[in-house]
Chain A
Amino acid sequence: MTPLATPGRHSIPGTTIFDGALARRGYALNRMCFSFNSSENRSAFKEDEEAYMARYGLTEAQKKAIRSRNVLQMIAAGGHIYYLAKLAGILGLDVQDLGAQQTGTSKEAFERKLIAAGA
Chain B
Amino acid sequence: MAEIIGSVCTSHVPAIGGALARNQQQTPYWKPFFDGYVKVREWLAKDPPDVVVIIHNDHGLNFFLDKMPTFAVGAAEVYHNADEGWGIPTLAPARGCVDLSWQIVEKAVEDEFDITTCQEALIDHAVELPLALLWPEGRRAGKWPVEIVPICVNTVLAPYPSPRRCYHFGQSLRRAIDAWDDERRVLVIGSGGLSHQLDGERAGHMNKGFDQRFMKSLVDDPKWIMQYSNDELVKQVGTQGIELLSWVVARGVMDATPVREYHSNYHVPISNTATGLQVLEPA
| A interface residues with partner B (beta carbon < 8 Å) | 9-10, 12-20, 23, 27, 30-31, 33-34, 36-39, 42, 71-72, 75, 80-86, 88-89, 95-96, 98-99, 102-104, 110, 113-115, 117-118
* CB of A31 to closest CB in B, whole Å: 7
Q: Which secondary structure characterizes the binding site on chain A?
A: helix
Residues of A within 8 A of B208 (CB): 117-118
**A99–B231 contact, CB under 8 A?**
no
**A86–B86 contact, CB under 8 A?**
yes
- B271 nearest CB neighbor, chain A only: A95
A sample of 11 cross-chain residue pairs with beta-carbon separation below 8 angstroms, ordered by A number, consists of A10-B229, A13-B202, A14-B200, A15-B201, A17-B239, A30-B64, A33-B85, A39-B83, A82-B156, A84-B199, A98-B198
Known interface pairs A114-B272, A115-B269. Does A16 touch B199 (Cβ–Cβ under 8 Å)?
Answer: yes
* CB of A36 to closest CB in B, whole Å: 5
Q: Give the one of A17, A33, A89, A102 with max B CB within 10 A.
A: A17
Mask: chain B, 240-252; 1 = CB below 8 Å from A; 0 = not: 1000000000000
Residues of B within 8 A of A38 (CB): 83
Tell me the complex Cα distance, A19–B158, Å.
4
Q: Which of B59, B199, B274 contacts A102 (CB 8 A)?
A: B199
Is B82 interfacial (CB-CB < 8 Å)?
yes
Mask: chain B, 189-203; 1 = CB below 8 Å from A; 0 = not: 000000001111111
Known interface pairs A37-B82, A82-B59, A86-B85. Does A13 touch B65 (Cβ–Cβ under 8 Å)?
Answer: no
Known interface pairs A37-B84, A39-B83. Does A15 touch B59 (Cβ–Cβ under 8 Å)?
Answer: no
Tell me the complex Cα distance, A89–B268, Å.
24
Q: Count the B residues whose beta carbon is within 8 Å of the partner chain — how many?
A: 41
**A37–B85 contact, CB under 8 A?**
yes
Q: Give the one of B60, B204, B267, B269 with max A CB within 10 A.
A: B204
- A110 nearest CB neighbor, chain B only: B204
Tell me the complex Cα distance, A9–B158, Å.
10
**B84–A10 contact, CB under 8 A?**
no
* CB of A76 to closest CB in B, whole Å: 10
Is B72 interfacial (CB-CB < 8 Å)?
no
Tell me the complex Cα distance, A117–B206, Å.
6
Is B235 interfacial (CB-CB < 8 Å)?
yes
